[in-house]
Copies of this chain bind each other. A is one copy, B any other.
């Protein structure tokens, strides 16, 4: 930087002013031109580490997660947070904890030591986490998880609304006899979706107690087996709602095997909207999409606004219906 100043015939300070377009500093156009030329000639690039030391702002967001690889869900959260960060000149420092509490603790310390501006903590599955107290007071937001006492602001998918949206798709298509093959009973997501399922039916004047609800486990086999079972019942439903896309896939395989056409003879709705599973298949599966990308964006956006100050303890993002080929009106 001193070299640049020397070449341009000015001091390092002036170079800094020019490069950063420091607000309040007025530089004569001629000087600015000379400085820029010198920067160009020397191929000078400011050292961000030094800047960070001086300004106490590293333009870095720490991103801690359970697990980057499984399910590609976390990948979407990262992508959302990344896009916003990049747009604001920041970048993501990613640490994978593999759900180890020790690693989580170490990651938090490490990120604080590196002077990150803020921390986003994301979980692959929606759940309660016990976050060790962060050293220093780095603004922190939780994505797809929450703490017991809501001590840290978080953003979650609106699963109840998602459950309602899923049923609404089928009701709108004219179905009144809908089977719901749920995911693992007790899981946070399962409970919300089921509640939404019932609420929406009731609101449409359909008694949820007349609908078949079977508990699966979010794996393809459970969708497959529960569907085979379903097909043997007397009062066969005209539509199946699945706990997630893997189950929907299993269900589809069972329907194929039994020669039941989708959607002509049976409508099918998945949940999660996992691209690889759901759009590269025939028929493409109507779905409710989880807002992972949006939650990632949301969290990062907060970091460039008021930080984690003044946020509601919990924010919900909508799960939106995605209409594809697997739903049609029931056969009359």
Q: Which residues of A contact B (CB under 8 A)?
A: 43, 45-50, 52-53, 58, 60, 63, 68-72, 74-76, 78-79, 82-83, 86, 91-96, 103, 109-110, 112-115, 135-136, 219-221, 224, 246, 249-250, 252-253, 256-257, 259, 274-277, 280-282, 293
Q: Is the CB of A277 within 8 A of B280?
A: no
The majority secondary structure among interface residues of chain A is helix
Q: Is the CB of A95 within 8 A of B82?
A: yes
Residues A93 and B91 in contact in the complex (CB < 8 Å), given A46-B113, A256-B256: yes
Q: Which of B45, B71, B74, B113 meets A276, CB within 8 Å?
A: B71
Please report the C-alpha to C-alpha distance between residue A302 and residue B246 in the assembled complex, in whole angstroms. 38
Q: Which of B60, B114, B220 meets A281, CB within 8 Å?
A: B220
Please report the C-alpha to C-alpha distance between residue A95 and residue B59 in the assembled complex, in whole angstroms. 13
What are some 16 contacts across the A-B interface (CB < 8 A)? A43-B135, A49-B53, A60-B93, A68-B75, A68-B82, A74-B75, A78-B96, A91-B110, A92-B95, A93-B93, A219-B280, A220-B280, A224-B282, A253-B256, A256-B257, A274-B276
Q: Is the CB of A114 within 8 A of B49?
A: yes
Residues of the B chain whose Cβ atoms lie less than 8 Å from the Cβ of A277: 276-277
Q: Is the CB of A92 within 8 A of B94?
A: yes
Report the minimal beta-carbon distance from A223 to chain B, rounded to whole angstroms. 10
Please report the C-alpha to C-alpha distance between residue A90 and residue B73 in the assembled complex, in whole angstroms. 25
Residues A94 and B94 in contact in the complex (CB < 8 Å), given A115-B47, A276-B246: yes
Residues of the B chain whose Cβ atoms lie less than 8 Å from the Cβ of A53: 47, 49-50, 53
Residues of the B chain whose Cβ atoms lie less than 8 Å from the Cβ of A63: 94
Residues of the B chain whose Cβ atoms lie less than 8 Å from the Cβ of A249: 249, 281
Q: Is the CB of B95 within 8 A of A86?
A: yes
Report the minimal beta-carbon distance from A309 to chain B, rounded to whole angstroms. 23
Q: Is the CB of B93 within 8 A of A281?
A: no
Please report the C-alpha to C-alpha distance between residue A274 and residue B72 in the assembled complex, in whole angstroms. 11
Q: Which of B71, B74, B114, B221 meets A48, CB within 8 Å?
A: B114
Please report the C-alpha to C-alpha distance between residue A281 and residue B47 in the assembled complex, in whole angstroms. 52
